[in-house]
Chain A
Amino acid sequence: MIELNAVSGAFALLSSDINAWLYLLPGLVIGLVFGAMPGISITMAMAFALPATLYMDFLPAIIFLTAIYTGAGFGGSVPAVLMGIPGTSSAVATTFDGYPMARKGEHNQALGVALASSVFGCLVSYLLLFFLIAPVSSVVLKLGPLEMFAVAVWGMLLLGSLAGRHMSRGLLAGVFGVLLGTIGMNTAGFIRGTMGVPWLLDGIPQIPAMMGLLAASQLIGLINTTYLIEDEGSRKISFSKILSGLKTAFVYPTIILRGSVIGVVIGAIPGVGSSISNLLSYSETKRNAPDGDTFGQGNPKGVIAAESANSSSEGGAMATMLALGIPGGGATAILLAAFAMHNIVGGPSFIANNKDIVYALIFSNFAQAILLLFVGLGFVYVASYVVRVPLRFLIPSVLVVSTFGAYAIEGSASGPITLWIFSVLGWAMVRYGYPVAAAVVGLLLGSLLEGNLLRTNQISGGDFISYGLERPWALLIFALMIGSIIMQALSKRKKLKQAAENSESRSASEAS
């Protein structure tokens, strides 16, 4: 599958213009900084860099833009870990364990783990891209609504594990989230629940709502605390602890690999991408981990799962873009525009005729991933000083930043107003034992669920079963899902049995 001619052509291309590599570092830094600002999306960062690439040659232009892409992908994890703010939907699952780790004083390790998983996920995804670009692209277009519905249901399984102690409250939060996620114009053109507010036609603004539920609500609740990390001794910024976090990530190669495969595959599906893949990876990892119960309380495995999946989605999205010439999301749309500026049009013929460029792209992304490790270390080190800022400064500052971000992403006061409503709702939910994360998952998946269920109904004329039998991929996804649940149930029973035996033998030994 790899053509050596093209590979050597790629190396020739990459070494032809050594100066092109000068754009790597600024690209990564711009990406990191933009990505770390809540509400500034990867697309926005790239859209602003696009005009600057007009005057560059093709190679530096693409290196610059993809470096921003890679940098911004990780940048979003920094506020997710340090403050529980998911600046993008792809960092939602990172907040689940990253933020609790930070609160426990393990912010250094958490950031190190996140960085290593991102770098590794990015590398793996481009490696997979190298081999899988052709097969992935032939499958992507054939994915119908039933397959997408299966993916969405898979994501919904996460609700079960997010529910916490009160199952009914957890499920209620999730279903409530789903309902809120379907507000606005649905895929068949019906307009519900907008109360006549024009901006609700597109649904509740997702990112402001998420920031409100997950972050602002927490901050409001922290008002009577003096520091993010209560123990003063744990507030240290320690380079060696960041490094030990890096190492932690590599202790769990299966989690990273699973995350990366999920990331690439889901990332390749246009319009779904990294916002879902991090949830799926988190959910699968939690279900398969022996210590799944400690997820959500600061288990580094949760961070690894989320970060390896969201960073590897980039590779998947690139596969679709290169193979089919269609953008899976905003970021790849910008890349395609940059391609077009240099008279290069994506699509099947592009790959066939420009294998050297494809491989050059892949290789330059390897380089980006490795450089990200070093740039990211410095960035993370500086950013982690946030934990030393007293909360009386941090709370107002972060609330304002979130508000600005909410405005930036929506372009009107609808963002800040949504943020406010959902931060009050989130605060009340946390207060009375409802898992806000479940509501966020529902909100994210609501329209995906509804749209694809609807299309399945339309396409099958209501006859789901005979249509389902014609869709082997959907059946495969459902089978995998059921298999995974059964495996979990079995291992749980085994564990319970073991625990029972242990306690029996212990009580027996105690008695003796």
Chain B
Amino acid sequence: MNSKFSRRNVLKVAGGGVAMAALGMPSILRAQGSFPDRPINIVVPFDTGGYNDRLARAFAPFLQEALGQPLTIINRGGAGALLGHTFFLQQPDDGYTILCTSAAPYIPLNMLTQNAEFTLEDFYMVNLPSQDYTLLATSADSDIQSIDDVITRLKEDPTSLSVGLQPASADLVNFSILCEANDIDFEATRMVTYDGGGPARNATAGGVVDIGLVGGEGFLPLAEQIRPLLTFDSRQRDNWEGAIVTDVLGAETDFVVGSQRGWGLHGSMQESNPEAFQILVQAIETASKNPAAIEALTTQQLATDWYGPEESNQMLARTAAVMEQYIDLLQGQ
């Protein structure tokens, strides 16, 4: 019995090895000189273990297959992705360095609040499969039952509820929109600032703060400990109960979508290296539509939907435009 298991495992390990080798193979078969003829770097402007890192690592084997060259993942975390974005743009725009990032809100935030020396046009988003959204929630055992409760209480006394969120975030902008629409004194509210989405969610779930506004996807593991009250999107997301912002504030309301994560290239590549540019866009499309990739990423709760460059860049531009309207808020103070 043991030997049976061991043989199976040996086969599995061997199979893995062969698969890995096979991924590297096409590079030898390909003609020299055509793009790409050497390994390609993926810059992830966050540390290992975060969403973008996991996305890059999970997607890399399939992109590798589509490109026929091995991919190397380079983590350049820090300063709200500013360091990684700057590093990416410093690399030559020859297509041998591509980007996997939370384009929104970080690229606009870098520009608006950190005096980054780049503009939106320096980036070209091939696909932004992951579209997060702000979720306003409370702890499961809170006495707040609905978004109406929240609005009523805050209208009566803006200090009646403590609000957990991150400074300079889409969530902060959304909260200010909610306040403005309901004549709540935003400045007077009791905002409690957290350094990351995780801590803000934990505080919400544990009832440390009365309500929290944080990216909704990250709430999924905590679903049983929270009560979702309001989704900042025009449709229901991830089966959350509670209201939808366009129903509460009207279809015309402004709101900022949360993180838009995915794949980017140098904006200048379109002119400087059109051929490589086309090959990369196509390879990302092929890999995104690869059923094996979709399966592998879905099991890891990672997004693979294909929106394409046109829509992705528009979405990013739209987000950046709304964020710019709230520049004072994002800069704080």
**B192 shortest CB reach to chain A, Å:** 5
B284 within 8 Å of A by Cβ?
no
A54–B208 Cα gap in the complex (Å)? 38
Query: Which residues in A have their C-beta under 8 angstroms from that of B54?
Result: 337
Q: B12, B167, B208, B224: which contacts A348 (Cβ < 8 A)?
A: B224
Beta-carbon contacts under 8 Å, B208-229 to A: 208-209, 221-225
Query: Which of A88-96, A186-194, A399-407, A481-489 is the contact stretch?
Result: A186-194
Among candidates A50, A343, A349, A411, residue contacting B75 with C-beta atoms closer than 8 Å: A411
CB distance from B117 to the nearest CB of A (A): 10
B238 to A: closest C-beta gap in Å = 13
Whether, in the assembled complex, B103 has its beta carbon less than 8 Å from a beta carbon of chain A, the answer is no
- Report how far A198 CA is from B301 CA in the complex, Å: 32
Q: How far is the CB of B2 from chain A (nearest CB, A)?
A: 6
Interface centre among B9, B168, B190, B207 (most CB of A within 10 A): B9
Known: A199-B83, A340-B299. A142 touches B75 (CB 8 A): no
Judge whether B77 is part of the interface by a CB distance below 8 angstroms: yes
Chain A residues closer than 8 Å to B162, beta-carbon distance: 458-459
A56, A142, A459: the one within 8 Å of B190 (CB): A459
Tell whether A341 is near chain B: CB-to-CB under 8 Å. Answer: yes
Known: A47-B48, A347-B224, A411-B75. 18 other contacts (CB 8 A): A19-B6, A43-B48, A51-B57, A142-B207, A187-B195, A188-B332, A198-B82, A198-B86, A199-B79, A326-B222, A330-B47, A337-B300, A345-B301, A348-B224, A411-B77, A411-B78, A459-B208, A461-B159
**Residues on the B chain within 8 Å of A142, using CB:** 206-208
A55 at the interface (CB under 8 A from B): yes
Which 10 residue pairs of A and B lie closest in terms of their CB atoms, listed nearest first? A141-B206, A189-B167, A55-B16, A325-B221, A201-B79, A333-B49, A144-B208, A47-B48, A189-B332, A142-B206
CB proximity of A72 to chain B, nearest CB, Å: 14
Q: For residue B115, which residue of chain A has the nearest CB? A: A196
Query: Is B194 in contact with A455, judged by CB distance below 8 angstroms?
Result: yes
Q: Is A246 an interface residue (CB 8 A)?
A: no
Task: List A444-482 residues whose CB lies under 8 Å from chain B.
Answer: 451, 454-455, 458-459, 461
Collect the chain A residues with CB atoms within 8 Å of residue B207's CB: 141-142
Partner of B225, one of A43, A327, A343, A348: A348
Contact for A347 among B221, B301, B333, CB less than 8 A? B221
With a cutoff of 8 Å between Cβ atoms, the chain A residues found around residue B78 in the complex are 198-199, 201-202, 410-411
A412 within 8 A of B: yes
Judged by a CB distance under 8 angstroms, whether A324 is at the interface is yes
Near B by CB (< 8 A), chain A positions 172-204 give 187-190, 198-199, 201-202
Which residues from A are CB-within-8-Å of B6?
Answer: 19
Cα–Cα, bound, A347→B9 (Å) = 30
Asked if A201 and B114 sit within 8 Å, CB to CB, the answer is: yes
* B223 contacts across to A, CB distance below 8 A: 347
How does the 8 Å CB contact mask read for B43-61 relative to A, with 1 for contact and 0 for none? 0000111100110010000
Docked complex Cα distance between A333 and B167 (Å): 24
Chain A contacts with B in 55-92, Cβ cutoff 8 A: 55-57, 60
Chain B neighbourhood of A60, CB < 8 A: 9
Cα(A18)–Cα(B192), bound, Å: 50
User: What residues of A have a CB within 8 angstroms of the CB of B195 in the complex?
Assistant: 187, 451
Interface string of B64-92 (1 = CB under 8 A from A): 00000000001111111011001100000
Q: Please report the C-alpha to C-alpha distance between residue A327 and residue B201 in the assembled complex, in whole angstroms.
A: 12
| Complex Cα–Cα for A202 and B208 (A) | 25
B79 touches A340 (CB 8 A): no
How many A-B pairs with Cβ below 8 Å? 146
Question: Cβ of B199 < 8 Å from any Cβ of A?
Answer: yes
**Residue A127 is within 8 A (CB to CB) of chain B in the complex:** no
Interface range, A side: 35 or more
- Chain A residues with CB below 8 A from B192, complex form: 145, 455, 458-459
Q: Which of chain B's residues have a CB closer than 8 A to the CB of A454?
A: 193
Query: Is there an interface contact between B12 and A56, defined as CB atoms closer than 8 Å?
Result: yes
A60→B299 CA distance, assembly (Å): 19
Residues in B whose Cβ lies below 8 Å from that of A199: 78-79, 83
Pairwise interchain contact B221-A324, C-beta atoms closer than 8 A = yes
Query: Which residues of chain B in 266-295 are interfacial with respect to chain A, using CB atoms and an 8 Å cutoff?
Result: none
List residues 131-189 of chain A with CB under 8 A from any CB of chain B.
140-145, 187-189
Residues of chain B contacted by A345 (CB below 8 angstroms):
221, 301
Q: Which of A47, A54, A188, A271 contacts B167 (CB 8 A)?
A: A188
13 contacts across the A-B interface (CB closer than 8 A): A18-B2, A141-B202, A141-B225, A143-B208, A144-B208, A188-B167, A190-B332, A190-B333, A199-B79, A337-B54, A348-B224, A458-B191, A459-B162
Q: Are A330 and B48 in contact (CB under 8 A)?
A: yes
The verdict on A458 contacting B225 (CB below 8 Å), with A47-B48, A340-B299 known, is no
Is B194 a contact partner of A187 (Cβ separation < 8 A)? yes
Q: Which of A55, A144, A188, A202 is B79 in contact with, Cβ under 8 Å?
A: A202
Q: What chain B residues lie within 8 Å of A51 (beta carbons)? A: 57
Identify the interface centre among B114, B159, B193: most chain A CB within 10 Å of its CB. B193
Segment 21-56 of B: residues with Cβ below 8 Å from A? 47-50, 53-54
